Amino acid sequence: MKALILVGGFGTRLRPLTLSVPKPLVDFANKPMILHQIEALKAIGVSEVVLAINYQPEVMLNFLKDFETKLGIKITCSQETEPLGTAGPLALARDKLIDDSGEPFFVLNSDVISEYPLKEMIEFHKSHGGEASIMVTKVDEPSKYGVVVMEESTGQVEKFVEKPKLFVGNKINAGIYLLNPSVLDRIELRPTSIEKEIFPKIAGEKKLYAMVLPGFWMDIGQPRDYITGLRLYLDSLRKKTSSKLATGPHIVGNVLVDETATIGEGCLIGPDVAIGPGCVVESGVRLSRCTVMRGVRIKKHACISSSIIGWHSTVGQWARVENLTILGEDVHVCDEIYSNGGVVLPHKEIKSSILKPEIVM
């Protein structure tokens, strides 16, 4: 089987992290976002992954070459010269997706993090005999999304309602699809939306089916959702393979610590924290609801909550970093500095406190 991952644009919502690497390579739970998806695809027998990309393809490919051999899966790029929306890239990658087997192929959005029940999806797809299957997830506030209206017992999709004012259902498109090759005949090579143009047509012919995603789901394309997504991911890890989570008297709740990181005495870490490779956390540090990426140093008695600390940054002694502060790569926060929601671009030194949420150039 094959799969296409829609890598797409510039990742503006996750700046300043995406100023250093393309969004799919931003670390999530100690590995690049896109690797979570590639590993899930490999696990159910996908042999080739095509990345639909229009931004820095060489950076992505150079990085993923290592994983090709490690995982034993072929990774290729289909490069857009202009943004083609969510359906155009499928037409562009047509030759890479179609072979003689006639097997359906997966399409995933690179921002989505979930439990990826792809094996169940293949079984579901075979059982209904339609042309396309989409994964849907239940949400509390359907009015913020496009809602999928479906027949509960069979999963047959009736229609899509964009940001409904009145309640029509609570299931939304989760950005994971399984499509028969015939779907490609419906797509022209131009900027096209699969959600707004292609799926409604297939639904109109009663050939589109939706499967409700078990477990958690999050689009982690922006900082607030990234932090929520980490909580959901670690919670899921606790249920499935809790041995991967850190334990000890200084750990509260779910915490993921890379084996090469060092943690000093008298720290209190958690809940919902990921500490990446080579990090140094000095004594008396307090961390909660945050991601600390590769090579970060957090000095004595610093306190970090609800924030993302980018690669190779430093947080000084007695500093306090909170309220969705995002530090880009190689940012150095001096001792005793307070950051309330600062978004700091790479390669900066912060010598004075950031008292209200703002972007620091």
Average pLDDT over residues 142-164: 84
β-strands 27-28, 31-32 pairing? antiparallel
The reply to whether 2-219 and 230-359 are identical in fold is no
> In the prediction, which pLDDT does 246 show?
92
User: Nearest Cα to 192, choosing from 323, 70, 39, 90?
Assistant: 90
Tens-place pLDDT, residues 298-343: 999 999 999 999 999 999 999 999 999 999 999 999 999 999 999 9
> In the prediction, which pLDDT does 56 show?
67
> In the prediction, which pLDDT does 132 show?
92
Residue 23 binned pLDDT confidence (cut-offs 50, 70, 90): confident
Residue 288 binned pLDDT confidence (cut-offs 50, 70, 90): very high
User: Nearest Cα to 202, choosing from 263, 150, 259, 131?
Assistant: 131
Of all residues in the chain, the percent with pLDDT exceeding 70 is 98
Average pLDDT over residues 150-163: 86
> In the prediction, which pLDDT does 315 show?
97
> In the prediction, which pLDDT does 94 show?
84
> In the prediction, which pLDDT does 9 show?
67
**How much is the pTM?**
0.88
Average pLDDT over the chain, rounded to an integer: 89
- Where do the structural domains in the chain lie, given as residue ranges? 2-219, 230-359
Tens-place pLDDT, residues 178-236: 999 988 888 888 888 888 888 889 988 999 999 998 889 888 888 898 999 999 999 99
3-state SS, one letter per residue, for the chain: CEEEEEEECCCHHHCCHHHCCCHHHCEECCEEHHHHHHHHHHHCCCCEEEEEECCCHHHHHHHHHHHHHHHCCEEEEEECCCCCECCHHHHHCHHHHCCCCCCCEEEEECCEEECCCHHHHHHHHHHHCCCEEEEEEECCCHHHCEEEEECCCCCEEEEEEECCCCCCCCEEEEEEEEECHHHHHHCCCCCECHHHHHHHHHHHCCCEEEEECCCCEEECCCHHHHHHHHHHHHHHHHHHHHHHCCCCCCECCCEEECCCCEECCCCEECCCEEECCCCEECCCCEEEEEEECCCCEECCCCEEEEEEECCCCEECCCCEEECCCEECCCEEECCCCEEECCEECCCEEECCCECCCCEEC
pLDDT higher than 90, residue 173: no
Fold assignment, 2-219: Spore Coat Polysaccharide Biosynthesis Protein SpsA; Chain A (3.90.550)
Tens-place pLDDT, residues 25-76: 899 999 988 899 999 999 998 989 988 887 667 777 788 788 888 888 888 8
Tens-place pLDDT, residues 77-109: 888 777 788 888 888 888 888 877 788 999 998
Fold assignment, 230-359: UDP N-Acetylglucosamine Acyltransferase; domain 1 (2.160.10)
Of all residues in the chain, the percent with pLDDT exceeding 90 is 51
Alpha-carbon distance values, 270 to 118, 121, 287, 288 (Å): 31, 34, 6, 5
Tens-place pLDDT, residues 232-274: 999 999 998 888 999 999 999 999 999 999 999 999 998 999 9
